[in-house]
Amino acid sequence: TAPRTTPGPLPVAELHLHLDGTLEPEHVLELAARNGVDLPFADIDDLRSRYEFTDLQSFLDLLYTNLTVLRERADFTEMVDRYLERAAAAGVRHAEVSCDVQAHTRRGIPLETVMGGLRDALDRSVATHGVTTRLLVSFWRDGPVDEAFDLLRALVASGIPFDGIGLDSAEVGFPPELFTDVFAFAREHGLHVVAHGGEEGGPEYVTGALDALRAERIDHGIRSLEDDALVERLVAERVPLTVCPLSNVRLRAVDTMADHPLLRMLERGLVVSVHSDDPPYFGGQVDANVDAVVEALGASDEQLAHLARNSFESAFLADDERAGYL
Ligand code: ADE
Ligand code: ZN
């Protein structure tokens, strides 16, 4: 197919983005110096050399070390602002971003510092970056359920606005059913609910997220293809799957980009869209993910338009807002 003729990156909604995973390595070191945080890296080259992963856990180890440089309210604001600036340049018009708030509160950073800092950037994002946003708070599926529940109650009690919750971190061995009550509480409080599933774990993690958590969207979900009945259900119920091709290759969930199931998923009628997960760790924003898919899989302009439309249709936008993007 001929290359896309419209100038600039494809306008999309970013729906699978971990804010804690958006710090560029230079920014990690800048914040470490500013806040007097000791990191186990000699310099920027040493830090950069660590961005080679063998699986999800090897990435999470680096991510969770790097995010300890965030200490002050302004640090969180700066992280979000820098992300939104890069996202806008990559074609993102609407961003549903998540934060592992638990990763910060368990280090003793007050909830108000984390959430206040995020909100300071998000509340002026339309004016500053021309990007509408939603905020999701993600919980560690490999962390204590009680800790997640206590934090969720505190978040709701704080009155600080957020739009939903998610479930992330190490998947295998930490089934969604563990978080049934946490997610029920969130839904009772009018929050949207999403969950990672079928990234490293099998299709039963996706089924569990649907049945036990009533997840409205599945983050990744690529291994759903191993279960035909699940695929039929996801298609029939139009459950969106937020797929991150560069992440999947870098974390070895998929061998090479040429093997990536994205277009097979699209062809089976799944509501898939392309996202970036943790951009500096995996090689770029949404536009880089789209470019990789075009290069390795030969996605057509029509398929790219379909993926972009799916991203807006899968977003937690009101119908009138959505209409403005479609
Ligand atoms: N946290 C940040 N990125 C993640 C991913 N791709 N899977 C699980 N947890 C994550
Ligand atoms: Zn993710």
98 bridge partner residues: 18, 136
Q: Name the binding residues for substrate.
A: 278
Q: In this structure, which residue's CA is closest to atom 8 in ligand 1?
A: 169
Instruction: Assess whether pLDDT exceeds 80 at residue 1.
Output: no
Helix, strand, or coil (residue 274):
strand
- Which residues participate in catalysis according to the annotation? 199
pLDDT band at 325 (very low <50, low <70, confident <90, very high): very high
- Pocket mutation for ligand 1, best pick of 59, 167, 241 (most atoms within 8 Å of C-beta): 59
Contact of 273 with 15, CB cutoff 8 Å? yes
Taking the CA of residue 239 as centre, how many other CA atoms within 13 Å lie in the half-sphere pointing to its CB? 27
243 bridge partner residues: 274
Reported pTM: 0.97
User: Does the ipTM exceed 0.90?
Assistant: yes
List of domains in the chain? 12-312 (3.20.20.140)
Percent of residues, the chain, with pLDDT higher than 90? 97
- Number of the ligand 1 atom closest to the C-alpha atom of 100: 1
